[in-house]
C-alpha cells in the first residue's frame, strides 16, 4: 500500500475571497491576499487501499460525516484521474484548529489533503499545480500551499493559483471568542450573497482594486497601508454578508467590541488592524513590536494567541506499506 503524510497551516485573508465565478472549478470572482500562519496545522495521511470499495475519511480519529467525506473523495477523484489510478484511499486527518470556528480549517485541511494525495498517488506537482489542486477542495486552500504572504489570482483554471508575495514582517493576534460551529457555511453564504445582494457587483469590482492597493503596500513594505486595507476590506465583506437575503451575520457583539478595542489601541499609538472571516473570531494584524502589548490588552475580551508567518504545505512522510 502506498501512503503519504502532509502538513499544512491555515491562512488568514487580508484581502478576502468571497464569491465564485465558477462553482465547479472553484474559480474566485476576484483575487485575494493572505498570510499562512505558524499555528494550528492539519496533518493528513492518505493510504491507498487495494481492497477498499470506497474512500474513508476520519477527522481527529472520528469517522467524518457523509458530506465531508464526499468533499474529500471529490478531490481524490481529481488526483486519481490525473494519476490514472482508480484505487480508493483511507484518509486520516488531525486538525489542531477548532473545526468550523471561522478560522479557515478547510484551508489547511484541503491543502494538506492535496499534498498528501498527490504524493500517495505518485504525482509530482510543482507549487502552482499543487495550489490549483488544493483550490478544487476549498478556494482558500490554494493559499495555504504557499508560505507566508500569498496572492491567489482570479482567472481560468490554469491561471488561478496562489504564489508568494514579499511584504512587511507582520504578526497576528488571534482573538478566539467562540469555538462553536458557524450557523451557515462560507460556501453557502457566498452563494446567497452572489444571488441576493445588490451590493455583490460592487464588492467584486472593489475587491480587484483593493487587491492592487494591498499588493502595492506589500511591495513598498508599507505596513500601515496594508493594515488599513485589511480592516476596510473585512468590514466591507461583513457588510455584504449582512446584506444577503435571508441575512447572515457572523460577527457577534463580542467581535464588534474587539474591532472597537483595536481602534482604541490605534488611537493610543499601536499599529494594529482587525479582520474576521466567516465566524465571530477576530484576527488582529500587527507588527512584531506591537504584538505583545496588543495581545495583552485584548486578553480581557477573548483568548489571544500571537502567530507569525508559517510554512507552506509539505510532505513529511511517504512510503510503501506492506
Quick one: which of 2, 44, 95, 106 contacts ligand DP6 (CB under 6 A)?
A: 106
Residues 120-149 close enough to bind ligand DP6 by CB under 6 A: 138-140
Residue 231 makes contact with ligand DP6 by CB under 6 A: no
Which residues make beta-bridge pairs with 171? 286
| Dihedral sign of CA atoms 239, 10, 290, 303 in order | positive
- Interface size with ligand DP6, residues (CB under 6 A): 15
Q: How many CB atoms lie within 10 A of CB 29?
A: 21
Residue 251 makes contact with ligand DP6 by CB under 6 A: no
To ligand DP6, the closest distance from the beta carbon of 2 in angstroms equals 27
Q: What track of x and - describes contact with ligand DP6 for positions 8 through 27 (by CB under 6 A)?
A: -----x--xxx-------x-
To ligand DP6, the closest distance from the beta carbon of 309 in angstroms equals 16
Yes or no: say if 73 and 52 are a contact pair by the CB < 8 Å rule. no
Yes or no: say if 78 and 136 are a contact pair by the CB < 8 Å rule. yes
Q: What track of x and - describes contact with ligand DP6 for positions 262 through 301 (by CB under 6 A)?
A: ---------------xx-----------------------
Residue 182 makes contact with ligand DP6 by CB under 6 A: no
Half-sphere exposure of 288 (CA within 13 A, CB side): 4
The residue number whose beta carbon is nearest to ligand DP6 equals 139
DSSP string, 105-140: HHHHHHHHHHHHHHHHTT----HHHHHHHHHHH-TT
Residue 204 makes contact with ligand DP6 by CB under 6 A: no
Q: How far is the CA of 198 from the CAs of 72, 202, 320, in angstroms?
A: 34, 8, 54
Cell reading at 24: 465547479
Residue 42 makes contact with ligand DP6 by CB under 6 A: no
Phi, psi of 59 (to 5 degrees): -120, 120
Which residue ranges make up the site for ligand DP6 (CB under 6 A)? Answer: 13, 16-18, 26, 32, 104, 106, 138-140, 186-187, 277-278
Amino acid at each position: 500500500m502506498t501512503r503519504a503524510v502532509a502538513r499544512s497551516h491555515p491562512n488568514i485573508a487580508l484581502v478576502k475571497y468571497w464569491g465564485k465565478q465558477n462553482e465547479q472549478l472553484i474559480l474566485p470572482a476576484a483575487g485575494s491576499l493572505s498570510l499562512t500562519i505558524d499555528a494550528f496545522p492539519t496533518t493528513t495521511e492518505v493510504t491507498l487501499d487495494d481492497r477498499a470499495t470506497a474512500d474513508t475519511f476520519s477527522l481527529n480519529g472520528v469517522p467524518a460525516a457523509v458530506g465531508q467525506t464526499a468533499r474529500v473523495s471529490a478531490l481524490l477523484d481529481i488526483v486519481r484521474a490525473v494519476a490514472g489510478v482508480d484505487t480508493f484511499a483511507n484518509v486520516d486527518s488531525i486538525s489542531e484548529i477548532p473545526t468550523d470556528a471561522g478560522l479557515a480549517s478547510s484551508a489547511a485541511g484541503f491543502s494538506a489533503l492535496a499534498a498528501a494525495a498527490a504524493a500517495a498517488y505518485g504525482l509530482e506537482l510543482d507549487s502552482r499545480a499543487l495550489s490549483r489542486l488544493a483550490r478544487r477542495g476549498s478556494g482558500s486552500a490554494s493559499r495555504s500551499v504557499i508560505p507566508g504572504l500569498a496572492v491567489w489570482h482570479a482567472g481560468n483554471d490554469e491561471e488561478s493559483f496562489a504564489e508568494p508575495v514579499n511584504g512587511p514582517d507582520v504578526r497576528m493576534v488571534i482573538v478566539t471568542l467562540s469555538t462553536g460551529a458557524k450557523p451557515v457555511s462560507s460556501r453557502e453564504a457566498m452563494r446567497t450573497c452572489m444571488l441576493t445582494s445588490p451590493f455583490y457587483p460592487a464588492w467584486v469590482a472593489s475587491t480587484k482594486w483593493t487587491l492592487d492597493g494591498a499588493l502595492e503596500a506589500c511591495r513598498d513594505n508599507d505596513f500601515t497601508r496594508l493594515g488599513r486595507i485589511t480592516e476596510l476590506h473585512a468590514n466591507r465583506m461583513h457588510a455584504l454578508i449582512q446584506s444577503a437575503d435571508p441575512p447572515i451575520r457572523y460577527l457577534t457583539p463580542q467581535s464588534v467590541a474587539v474591532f472597537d478595542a483595536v481602534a482604541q489601541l490605534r488611537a493610543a499609538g499601536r499599529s494594529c488592524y482587525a479582520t474576521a472571516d466567516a465566524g465571530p473570531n477576530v484576527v488582529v494584524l500587527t507588527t512584531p513590536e506591537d504584538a505583545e502589548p496588543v495581545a495583552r490588552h485584548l486578553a480581557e475580551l477573548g483568548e489571544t494567541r500571537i502567530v507569525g508567518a508559517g510554512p507552506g504545505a509539505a510532505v513529511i512522510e511517504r512510503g510503501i506499506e506492506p
